[in-house]
Structure 1
């Protein structure tokens, strides 16, 4: 009993068994933020950025080609679907170029830069963990902001959507999202950008070489687009005109031109034709109307050049007052301004009450219907198109004077 009492005395006299020390995790490996260099998730993001940048470069290359074809007056593109969804209309707008170079070409260069940065991230050594998350975020963020701006311009100013452009915008947003996540894993966006700038300063020779490559690429774009257009692009240069003997004897060449005042190609051809006709007195062009508008053209089954029928009526009524050439110029130049036709009539000096009455006259409607029917009978499929000797020649006048008949057209 006494022995048991001594044991109880130990238990009650202040003795306590050792208390294990609390577990403190080893944080020595996490003092520096993981800048994504070793984690599989960061590698996956870098690979995603590379693939997205290459996809964006493909879209930008296609847009650059579309821009070139549109400005050369070629056939309408696959994405000229309607008035509201029309890559050609966007490509021919004043917003499609920056410093004389197509925005698509600048976009192609930017996507290639991002792809190169992503490729360098995938190849970097472990000691350079995090590079170049900050630069990727800055570049893709800039492109995403530009995409928002261009989307607003397309909707509010141009009034048409380019579906290939929209695809490029989505790629820009996806790139910015991936780059943001990558930068967060590299210590945060601000820290990632500071670290990348410091890395650039630490390698002045490599940084200067990269800058020179970018400058050379930019200079190449300026040089290419500042030069003369390639021969045969259909830009309407007088030198492209062939001798009159190819179409008929001098003084007897009468061409019937079918046009549409909402057709961007027609507007370009209209301006390009003036010096050609000035140097070719043997050629006479007779204008006929073929608006690609389903409200008056039975060949159209869906809305395309909305309002083109009303503009054709305005031209017919100006012709009735002897002011066709003035109204013709005004209607084509109005594609950007979109002023009401009555305002155009006032500017070119028409009798406005007489003009108003003419717009709803049965004679005007009959004239427009006759032009459209003659185009259908001749086999006209798009604008601008010319008919000579019963054959249809789509495209610009310079090409017509030296080309064989074709079967497709712009519009």
Structure 2
């Protein structure tokens, strides 16, 4: 992969063999610095990524280096090698076990793809009126937690305080979530044999949809290599697992956020980069046109409204992303300010729309957040276009139906 700068290697000791191999392979030219000079070297070298050895002497300088890296634009990957404690929010964990440089090369390439995507979005933003989403990407992330051991409840809480969590007590249940949701990470906890773990990781590695997904294993040593660049073994207490998994999850959430922003730019700004659905203005335009054409030509048109507690904005966002993933190409939707999500089913009668809405609603019920979990089950209402309808009257009736259903 071509890059705009070298790799900056930060250490107070000599290069380990796996880092020297990067330079020798001429894939990533490496520039060395010590911890005391690291923050200044970021300014002078303008690296494409930072690789830091956490082997002592880094403690007084770690926070300053992390802040300097976080200030850079586009995204500057920061990989922390063999960290023993909790990492800064932007430091990606990497264990050098086995000394295999191929794992490190894969990790760096995956991170550099996010950097390239960020640079592309920044370059294209002036083309249309699209706002780059602000704030921590991790706040919108969703993680699949798979496990059934004693640590599962504590892991669920530790992760849920930081991101949305979808729980699965079996590999079969996990597979369903992988196929229906946009996930930003998988945490495979205890409760499975080494053979089951190996089979699950092999399946993930063979599916290109999941190859860049962060996969955190907490309970097994990995006996072989997998084509999963962001696979990491993080044992320990649930709070440590969650904290050190979060940087990888955050990077994936940022990549997904940037990809949605790029799609919005390609669509002329009519897609909402956060939800993946249409903006309110674009929805109003397309819905009015769809109603007009259906009344003129005949056929069916149905609308579903998924209403959530207005105080649980995360449930609405999760639902919007599920819908943007599972909707048919001819359908379209919008996330509204009142906490609901509306989806228009083109060429669909009431009975079929009701069946589709019920299935979509079932997928939405599994995400939790933290200790104080809010109910995320949507109140669903479905209606169809009648010959006397306008776009406004159909939406008004749909909202009235939802109010009656909620009361």
TM-score normalized by structure 2?
0.23
Question: Which structure carries more helix by proportion?
Answer: 1
Higher RCO (C-alpha under 8 Å, 6+ residues apart): 1
Pick the structure with more strand per residue: 2
Larger Rg, first or second structure (1 or 2): 1
TM-score, normalised by the number of residues in structure 1? 0.22
